[in-house]
Amino acid sequence: MRRETTRRVALLVAGIVVLTGVLVADAVVGPSAPKSNGAPPPSAVLSDAAATSSAWYCAGLAAVAGAVLITNPGRVPVTGTVRSQPAGSSTVTTTRFAAPPSQQVAVDLPQGAATVSVEGGGVGVLEAVVGAFGVTASPCASSAASAWYFAQGSTANGAGMEVAVFNPLPTPAVVDISFTSPTTGTIVPPAYQGVPLAPGQSVVENVMDHAPGQGSLATAVTALSGSVVATVFEPSSGPGHGGSSFLDGTTAPRPLWAFAQNQDVAGGTNYFVMYNPTSVPATVTVSLALTQGQAAPIVVPLPPQSTSVLTAESQTRIPTGAAYGIVFSTNSRSQSSAAGIVVARLAISNGSPNPAVGVSSGQAGGFSRWLVAPVAPGQSPAGLAVIDLTTRPVRVTVKGFQSSAGPTALPGAKNIKVDPGTVYMLSSSPATPVGWSPVEVEASGPVAVQLDPSPADPPGTAPVVAWPLLSQLG
């Protein structure tokens, strides 16, 4: 790892490491199965394919020029409009697009929050930045909300952290922005309280201005009136400082989070940041899913309004060099129904040309059907991972959208048995073109999925987005 990257990483996790000693009462519990938590977050909801129109809202592009990626898994082309407006400006850029069947199309945009209006349904939209220091993509939101939560960000060593908030609705909104640090506690900058947002307006707050030197910051965006969309963006600081990262948020703490593909690689580290923004304590069960064998879960107490960190490489139960999935659950009969958390991963590579530091959100909840987007421009796919989140084996089929007959099982990827607490891996190939075109993952019970670009160092540094499917596609 290069010297500059080492400096950034050391300070980036300084706030994390402080808490690690009090974090994990490394208690072992008997095997248990996390349960699915019903409704997906707004960024995950695709409208029905039969819908006459749909819309997506992309707040992160208010912080940086980039592109929207429109994924169309259907059998007919879809068209629409991208409307972009810079923060604090009345200038609007409007761009028409056409997304061919079974493909993803990119629409480059100047800096400005964007509204993507689609003349049809069943389409997913991402916001992305593609540059010399890596690729980052995050789901846009299909609805606005009164609250958004993010588990990780950093202002250590001058690392940029920006919170972008966008009001896509025709009514005004007013928001508060606050933070939780493992070293400082709750931070409520006066400048970020009562921030007004007119219809169509966005703001970008440079967190370094009011919360500098924080290795780990969880963020809460709360609308006092109206509804908004929010994103956390960490830009690259240049060569040796890693890549840029979008972090998509959740509109409520949730009892289950999953990361389907991770790996302990030489010189790399995976930190999992757990954030409890509620007023009640939570007890988190951390379950590991291995490609071979089983590992006992870990129990982590998480007080109200706090963050805690699990350093994966310090866990001897995770085999060195092995791929694994990890699940964070607060489902328990003994816990309050209000108990819920937010989880993000800080993945650090070994200094390869790929992003050295990547922040990503977990998947909230387990669902039986998923749409997996292709990789972003400038990437190539590596492998698809699927975790069984039930107490019984599930059957998994991966389908492509190349046929005019609709989703069709890929060769060798039909009715695959996946045991509880294990990970199923499917590599990309000409016969199984996961990553090159949209694919659907269908299971007989709740699962979590993840597609990584290649090379990924470690896997998961810049994962590809997947959406839960609540209606039929194709």
Note whether residue 255 is domain-resident.
yes
Residues 317 and 361 in one domain: yes
Task: Kindly state whether residue 333 falls inside one of the protein's structural domains.
Answer: yes
In this structure, is residue 474 part of a structural domain?
no
**In the listed set 75, 107, 139, which residue is the last one of a domain according to the structure?**
139
- Asked whether residue 83 falls in the same domain as residue 102, the answer is yes
Q: 294, 238, 242, 1: which is closest to 135 by C-alpha?
A: 242
Q: According to the 3-state scheme, what is the secondary structure of the chain?
A: CCHHHHHHHHHHCHHHHHHHHHHCCCEECCCCCCCCCCCCCHHHCCCCCCCCCEEEEECHHHCCCEEEEEEECCCCCEEEEEEEECCCCCCCEEEEEEECCCEEEEEEECCCEEEEEECCCCCEEEEEEEECCEEEEEECECCCECEEEECCCCCHHHCCCEEEEECCCCCCEEEEEEEEECCCEEECCHHHCCEEECCCCEEEEEHHHCCCCCCCCEEEEEEEECCEEEEEEECCCCCCCCCCEEEECECCCECEEEEEEEECCCCCEEEEEEEECCCCCEEEEEEEEECCCCCCCEEEEECCCEEEEEEHHHCCCCCCCCEEEEEEECCCCCCCCCCCEEEEEEEECCCCCCCCEEEEECEECCEEEEEECCCCCCCEEEEEEEEECCCCCEEEEEEECCCCCCCEECCCCCCEEECCCEEEEEECCCCCCECCECEEEEEEEEEEEEEEEECCCCCCCCCECEEECCCCCC
Which residues touch 49 (CB under 8 Å, ≥6 apart)? Answer: 74, 120, 121, 122, 471, 472, 473, 474
Token pair, residue 291, equals 């490609």
Q: Which residues contact 90 (CB under 8 A, 6 or more apart)?
A: none
* Listed range (192-196, 358-362, 456-460) with the worst mean pLDDT: 456-460
Residue 125 has pLDDT above 60, yes or no: yes
CATH number at residue 130: 2.60.120
Question: What confidence score (pLDDT) does residue 468 get?
Answer: 83
Q: Is residue 318 part of a domain?
A: yes
Range with top average pLDDT, 46-50, 170-174, 423-427: 170-174
Q: Tell me, what's the pLDDT at 333?
A: 46
> Does 253 share its domain with 365?
yes
Same domain, 132 and 150: no
Q: Are residues 135 and 213 in the same domain?
A: no
Nearest to 373 by CA among 384, 358, 362: 384
Pair (349, 442) in one structural domain: yes
**Roughly what angle, to the nearest 10 degrees, separates helices 3-12 and 14-23?**
50
Is it the case that residue 16 has pLDDT exceeding 50?
A: no
Last residue of a domain, one of 97, 113, 139: 139
Q: Is the domain of 27 the same as that of 88?
A: no
Whether the CB-CB separation of 315 and 299 falls below 8 Å is answered with: no
Confidence of residue 11 (pLDDT cuts 50, 70, 90): very low
pLDDT at 30: 35
Instruction: Say yes or no: 197 and 301 in one domain.
Output: yes
Kindly state whether residue 384 falls inside one of the protein's structural domains. Answer: yes
Which pLDDT score is estimated for 401?
84
Please check whether residues 202 and 333 belong to one and the same domain.
yes
Does 350 reside within a domain? yes
Give me the pLDDT at residue 17, please. Answer: 44
- pLDDT given for residue 237 in this prediction: 53
Report the candidate in 332, 293, 326 with the shortest Cα–Cα distance to residue 32: 332
Number of folded domains in the chain?
A: 2
Which residue, chain included where needed, has tokens 């922040």?
Answer: 359
In a domain, 473, yes or no: no
- pLDDT for residue 39: 59
- Amino acid occupying residue 405: A
Indicate the pLDDT class of residue 453, thresholds 50, 70 and 90: confident
Could you tell me the residue range of the domain that residue 173 belongs to?
3-38+144-468
Q: What is the dihedral of CA 48, 435, 76, 57, to 10 degrees?
A: 50
Question: What single-letter amino acid sits at 237?
Answer: S
- Please tell me whether residues 329 and 414 are part of one structural domain: yes
Same domain, 277 and 347: yes
- pLDDT of res. 6: 40
Of 105, 139, 173, the residue at which a domain comes to its end is: 139
Confidence band, pLDDT 50/70/90 cuts, at residue 280: very high
Mean per-residue pLDDT for 142-168? Answer: 91
Can you tell me the mean pLDDT for 406-428? 90
Query: Is 262 a member of any domain?
Result: yes
pLDDT beyond 70 at 241: no
Residue 81 has pLDDT above 90, yes or no: yes
pLDDT over 50 at 303, yes or no: yes
Same structural domain, 198 and 126: no
With beta carbons less than 8 A apart as the criterion, state whether 198 and 133 touch. Answer: no
pLDDT at 314 over 60: yes
